[in-house]
Chains A and B, each alone.
Chain A
Amino acid sequence: MAKRIIVLGSGVAGSMVANRLAKSMQKEIYSGEVEVLVIGNKKQHVYQPGFLFMSFNEGTLEQFSREQKHLLHPKVKFILEEATKIDTANNTVTTTKQSYNYDFLVIATGSFPDFNSVPGLAEGSHNFYTPEGAAKLRDELFKFKGGTILMTIDVPHKCPVAPLEWIFMADELFRDLGIRDKVTLKYTYPIGRIHSLEPVAEWAEAEFEKRGIESEVFFNLEEVDPNKNLAYNMDGTGHPYDLLISIPAHVGAKVVRDSGVGDEDGFIPTDRYSLKMVGQDNVYVLGDATNLPVSKAGSTAHYQVDVVVRNIISQMKGFPASHRYSGKAFCFIESGLNEATYIWFDYKTPPQPMPSSEMLHWFKLSYNELYWLSARGIL
Chain B
Amino acid sequence: MSEVQITKTIDARGAFCPGPLMELVKTIKRGNVGEVYELLSSDSGSAKDVPEWVNKMGHALVDSKQDGDFWRITVKKMK
Contact = CB atoms under 8 A, between A and B. Distances in A.
Nearest to B41: A293
A351 B56 contact: no
A198 interface: yes
- Looking at chain A's contact residues, the main secondary structure is loop
Contacts of A156: 18, 22, 26
Interface residues of B, number: 25
Nearest to B17: A295
Contacts of B30: 264-265
A343 B16 CA distance: 11
A159 B22 CA distance: 14
A234 B17 contact: no
A197 B49 CA distance: 12
Contacts of B11: 272, 293
A21 to B, nearest CB: 27
Interface residues of A, number: 32
B19 interface: yes
A143 interface: no
Q: Which of B10, B12, B20, B26 has the largest count of A CB atoms less than 10 A from its CB?
A: B26
Nearest to B10: A293
A293 B23 contact: yes
Interface string A206-221: 0000000000001010
A351 B18 CA distance: 11
B26 A218 contact: no
Interface string A307-338: 00000000000000000000101010000000
8 contacts: A155-B22, A191-B49, A196-B21, A197-B17, A249-B26, A272-B11, A295-B18, A348-B14
